[in-house]
A and B are shown apart, each in its own frame.
Chain A
Amino acid sequence: GAGVSQSPSNKVTEKGKDVELRCDPISGHTALYWYRQSLGQGLEFLIYFQGNSAPDKSGLPSDRFSAERTGGSVSTLTIQRTQQEDSAVYLCASSRGPGYSNQPQHFGDGTRLSIL
């Protein structure tokens, strides 16, 4: 497809389990971002990738969160030992060109994560 693709669209898991969220950016977009959207905190930046490297991980809330990107394309966000406060919608975005440019970020539909 032409847009940013995220999977799964919904994930329900028990507290303490690990989860993996996947993002497939728009073809040709070199920059990739993860954000989190929750009722209390709004939209929060998590991490930025340029190619396969992550120059800015400043938004990752704890060491339970990690992300990688391979082949300059697909990215995976992993949350270990999930906690209830991790429940949120995780949004992936991509943009053409480097992240500091004025290129708009295009978002996927998100993964709604619910921790029981």
Chain B
Amino acid sequence: AQKVTQAQTEISVVEKEDVTLDCVYETRDTTYYLFWYKQPPSGELVFLIRRNSFDEQNEISGRYSWNFQKSTSSFNFTITASQVVDSAVYFCALKGGSNYKLTFGKGTLLTVNP
């Protein structure tokens, strides 16, 4: 069985603060893929990043960075210098290598206040 846990239900920050969204996953697959999606108030789920289980290299893209650690089964997402437009629900998702479906966490509602 696959499971994704996003322990933070809601986070509220002031603009320009850094914020980290936590994600912990469980899977028995040796090959798997991890994703982060953003869902703004408009409703569309927007793909942000994918990580393969065999690639633990962390990445920085502009104000976004990701920290993937297999040893702790975590795939955390950091926004540096947050902006009001970052306000959204962020979902972490897992797909096993032999599976088709995404297993989503419950999501973290991020509110960035001006």
Contact = CB atoms under 8 A, between A and B. Distances in A.
Contacts of A106: 47
B76 to A, nearest CB: 19
A89 B43 contact: yes
Contact of A102 (B45, B52, B91, B100): B52
Bin the interface of chain A by size. Answer: 20 to 34
B57 to A, nearest CB: 15
B13 to A, nearest CB: 23
Nearest to B31: A102
Interface in B57-107: 91, 95, 97-107
B91 A43 contact: yes
Contacts of B97: 100
Nearest to B106: A42
Contacts of A56: 100-101
Interface of A: 31, 33, 35, 42-43, 45, 48, 55-56, 59, 89, 91, 93, 99-100, 102, 104-110
